[in-house]
Amino acid sequence: MKHTLIAAAVAAAALTTPAAHAGRSCESKKPGAQTIERGLVLAERTAAALDASGADVVVLARAGQDLSKYGLRYSHLGFAYKQLGPDGRGAVWRVAHKLNHCGTADSAVYRQGLGEFFLDDLWRYEAAWVVPSREVQQKLLPVLQDNGRVAALHHKPYSIVSYAWGQRYQQSNQWAIETLAGAMQPGVPSRGGSQAWLRNAGYEPSTLKLGPLTRLGARASAANIAFDDHPSEKRFSDRIETVTVDSVFQWLQRSGLGAAPVSMRLN
């Protein structure tokens, strides 16, 4: 299987699946037959549920890692949207999301099918989504369908715990809500403008409690983890504010920008 790299000047580029990850481990291993089967079953059932929802765009999440020690259920989100086939019929669900290039501090925005989105060896075979309000869907859909616009707020330097209100790095969930915020505003979007819109709309990031030994160990062992964008008074008091799926889902429902989260889990 292949997925498509989105860039303003590049329409599509094929990359092998293990090269980019988000919300799961970066271990390089080929998926087994059972992993593939379960991922495809989850994708098929998710597609049927999304069709039944009547939505054109949803905020879609997966559980690629066990984050329960931080009080989090999901690890990674993107936008699933309906796309017509070449003949103008047979709409299928595609996913636009940001992935980290494993072993590096770089990232890119990709398009995938639902099968690819759930193909990886997930921690828990569960899909979760929020249906945005009709206004949000109408403003997001043309952005997601356009290579230039969907990557307009992408920032290549990546940290998995990037500061929610910073601009030095950008993790996957952060790209997603900044893109949503950019779509909701008139004019040319910017990261600063999107973050200001999110603050005004009441978004609140998750606060992770990470002690100094955890921070130092993580920074020394992984290129995609950095803490130097967090304000010193928060970082040195072990308060790491970052964008999580759980906080985005809670905010969408609380603000009225989306419905209550829906989940589907394989037995």
CA atoms of 128 and 253, how far apart (whole Å):
14
H/E run at residue 50: helix 33-53
**Residue 51: both structure tokens together:** 């069709």
Furthest-apart CA pair in the chain: how many Å? 57
The answer to whether the beta carbons of residues 49 and 266 sit under 8 Å apart is: no
Computed over its alpha carbons, how large is the radius of gyration of the chain? 17
Question: 36-60: per-residue pLDDT in tens?
Answer: 999 999 999 999 999 999 999 999 9
**Residue 87: both structure tokens together:** 């003949």
Helices 172-183 and 191-200 cross at an angle (nearest 10°) of: 80
79 has pLDDT over 70: yes
pLDDT of residue 51: 96
H/E run at residue 112: strand 107-113
CB under 8 Å, gap of 24 or more: what pairs does 251-258 form? 251/201, 251/202, 251/203, 251/204, 252/59, 252/130, 252/132, 253/130, 254/202, 255/201, 255/202, 255/203, 256/133, 257/132, 257/133, 257/136, 257/201, 258/59, 258/130, 258/131, 258/132, 258/133, 258/136
Q: How many domains does the chain divide into?
A: 1
Full residue range of the structural domain in which residue 100 is found: 3-265
Question: 138-176: per-residue pLDDT in tens?
Answer: 999 999 999 999 999 999 999 999 999 999 999 999 999
User: Any idea how long the chain is?
Assistant: 267
pTM over 0.75: yes
- State the pLDDT confidence band at 199, using cuts at 50, 70 and 90: very high
- Of 29, 32, 8, which is closest to residue 17 (Cα–Cα)? 29
**Residue 242: both structure tokens together:** 């970052």
What mean pLDDT comes out for the span 82-93?
80
